[in-house]
Amino acid sequence: MSKFQIIVLSIFVVCIIAGVVAFATFKGSGSADSLPAITVWGTFPEETLSSYIAEINSSAAQSITLKYTQLKPDAFSTTFIAALARGIGPDAVLLPVDMLLPHLDKVTPIPYTALPQRTFMDTYIQESNIYLTTNGIIGMPFTIDPLVMYWDRDMFNSAGIATYPKYWDEFTGLVSKLTVKDSNGNVRKSAIAIGDFSNTTNAREVFGTLLMQLGNPVTAYDRDGLLNTTISVAAGTVPQSVLKFYTQFVDPSSPNYSWNRGMPNDKTAFLSGITATYFGFASEIKDIRTKNPNLDFDVATIPQVRTGGVRAGYGRMYGFSILRSSANINAAYQVISTLIQPANIVKLEKAMYLPSVRRDIIAAGSSDPYVSVFDTIALITSSWLDADPVKSRQLMGNMVQSITSGKSTIFESIQDLESQYNLLLRNAMTQ
């Protein structure tokens, strides 16, 4: 082992021991009518969290006192690390899974003596397993926002198509029916808005979904404990096949040409009736309704690979992680545990119009036609540890652009992405 690895491992072991002692000796604190006060920083909407806590406090036997600071995603790491250096950091953070990697060394795992691994796995949806480590639980699931497919009923009906595509390969047959071109070959209406990153809102998440459905996790730890991207030439044919499928829709010479970087933003196009499908998050449904009340749309599970794959979809999961620097570890655990109790969390999910992170709540079912779809895909959502979602999106976009512009071959573009993405991951793990 290198000197750096030994130092990191030593610090981690000390933190684990401290965490185990802290959780094991917890005896509760605070007054009879209130829980201990804690501070939390994150990128989760402050207004939503404040309203949720206020609702809990309106009927709870013990009120919650939580001082929350919302930071912009692109400013979180810099502000957070600077605060810790000055000794004024929070007790916990509330972040999406793909923003946690740079701060793993700052988190104290919840030991399995406090919350057994089997209990955790039986309680929470599949994506939550990303929080499980050999030393404990590094995050408690709070919300899940799955990527879904919105589809325009009018466009499908006008084309004589009775139902939405359940598999990706169906789009190769839908392009000729749903894509409209003018006499010069310019796309006026599109069947599917993928193939370029510049005007596709959730391109990173759609591209990652395709990889995960074919068994490629996007990032994974190697034998030396280093996180690497699996979008690599050593990963077999999966990255290449995904790129071939993804880029065919922006290739003018392809029979499946349906999109290009000169088109408007995909969500804008969907709202305007220009594209038949839009891959967006479940949380966007209210915004779509508000911006175009006359749009006749429906929601469906993200398309899947027909054969040779696994059912999967991307989910933006927020979770609470307790910091080893906190002087209130036990208090933080107590407050977070209260926030995610089934009787409380169901109120938040209804308010946000999102599925639950808990299996038992999903199992209870929903009569809402949209929530029932969200619940179905929540059970198969996945994500990956990332250094910086914005920067990794840029790298993936550059890879795709190098192929569609003819600058690089698919093989060469994957090589470039691999080296740059791994460097990004290394830098994140050494902050």
Residues 194-226: tens digit of each pLDDT: 999 999 999 999 999 999 999 999 999 999 889
Give me the mean pLDDT over the 397-424 stretch: 97
With both helix axes pointing from N to C terminus, report the angle between 389-404 and 73-85 in degrees, rounded to the nearest 10.
140
Is 217 within the bounds of a domain? yes
Domain count along the chain: 2
Same domain? For 111 and 221 the reply is no
The residue segments making up the domain with residue 45 are: 3-144+317-367
Same domain? For 27 and 137 the reply is yes
Same domain? For 212 and 351 the reply is no
Same domain? For 289 and 422 the reply is yes
pLDDT digits (tens, 9 = 90+) for 333-368: 999 999 999 999 999 999 999 999 999 999 999 999
CATH of the domain at 274: 3.40.190.10
| Residue bearing the bigger pLDDT, 365 or 5 | 365
Helix (H, G, I), strand (E, B) or coil at 138: coil
For the question of whether the overall pTM of this predicted structure is more than 0.75, the answer is yes
Same domain? For 330 and 306 the reply is no
Same domain? For 22 and 104 the reply is yes
| Residue bearing the bigger pLDDT, 32 or 377 | 377
As a whole-number percent, the residues of the chain with pLDDT over 90 amount to 88
pLDDT of residue 61: 86
Widest CA span in the chain: 75
For residues 129 and 217, give the distance between their C-alpha atoms in angstroms, rounded to a whole number.
Answer: 13
Same domain? For 153 and 132 the reply is no
pLDDT band at 386 (very low <50, low <70, confident <90, very high): very high
Q: How far is CA 298 from the centre of its chain?
A: 22
Same domain? For 214 and 333 the reply is no
pLDDT of residue 27: 43
Is 378 within the bounds of a domain? no
Is 374 within the bounds of a domain? no
Same domain? For 238 and 306 the reply is yes
Same domain? For 344 and 396 the reply is no
For residues 352 and 195, give the distance between their C-alpha atoms in angstroms, rounded to a whole number.
Answer: 31
For residues 248 and 258, give the distance between their C-alpha atoms in angstroms, rounded to a whole number.
Answer: 9
pLDDT band at 26 (very low <50, low <70, confident <90, very high): very low
| Residue bearing the bigger pLDDT, 62 or 79 | 79
pLDDT of residue 30: 52
Is 377 within the bounds of a domain? no
